């Protein structure tokens, strides 16, 4: 029996092809934005959603379980780590753009394509900074 090794990108492509979600177009656009950032991120499917990782630690994961929205979860991976306060690195980000769930985990809420386009540059800046500081 020959096992086919599926790359993370291929895994995400197959996941998105099968995805039945009201914001599929927006999710695909946010994925393109993140992949265009040249931060060395790789992707795979984690927690039943696309997730971006660096050095085997997930950093940004889609949360597709919203009613009228979806989220990006900014985190430091699934493994327990010593707690750090990342909030000071994001003090200049407009209030409400990030919702902090803990000192080292935040979410960004997105609603539709107009919202994604309006937040495009800030999204790139915040996700890029998140990758840099984590």
Structural domains of the chain sorted by starting position, each given as residue range(s) with its CATH number in brackets: 8-133 (3.90.1150.200)
Query: Which residue do the tokens 């790359």 mark?
Result: 7
Q: pLDDT above 90 covers what percent of the chain?
A: 81
The mean pLDDT of 37-52, rounded to a whole number, is 93
- What pLDDT is stored for residue 1 in this prediction? 47
- The number of beta carbons lying within 10 Å of the beta carbon of residue 29 is 16
- The secondary structure of residue 97, as a DSSP letter, is S
pTM of this structure: 0.91
The mean pLDDT value for 85-112 works out to: 96
For residues 121 and 108, give the distance between their C-alpha atoms in angstroms, rounded to a whole number.
Answer: 13
Low-confidence winner among 12-21, 46-55, 79-88, 118-127 (lowest mean pLDDT): 79-88
Give how far the C-alpha of residue 76 lies from the chain's centroid of Cα atoms, to the nearest Å: 11
* Rg of the Cα atoms in the chain: 15
Q: Two tokens at 39?
A: 């931060």
Q: Give CA separation, 76 vs 6, 26, 52, 85, 104, in Å.
A: 24, 24, 11, 12, 7
Q: What is the pLDDT of residue 82?
A: 80
């Amino acid at each position: 029996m020959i096992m086919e090794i599926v790359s993370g990108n291929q895994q995400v492509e197959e996941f998105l092809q099968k995805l039945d979600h009201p914001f599929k177009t927006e999710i695909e656009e946010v994925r393109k934005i993140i992949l265009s950032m040249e931060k060395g991120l790789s992707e795979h499917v984690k927690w039943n959603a696309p997730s971006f990782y660096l050095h085997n630690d997930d950093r940004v994961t889609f949360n597709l379980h919203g009613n009228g929205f979806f989220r990006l979860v900014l985190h430091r991976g699934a493994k327990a780590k010593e707690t750090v306060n990342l909030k000071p690195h994001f003090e200049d980000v407009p209030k409400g753009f990030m919702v902090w769930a803990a000192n080292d985990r935040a979410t960004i809420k997105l609603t539709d394509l107009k919202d994604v386009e309006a937040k495009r540059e800030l999204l790139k800046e915040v996700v890029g900074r998140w990758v840099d500081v984590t």
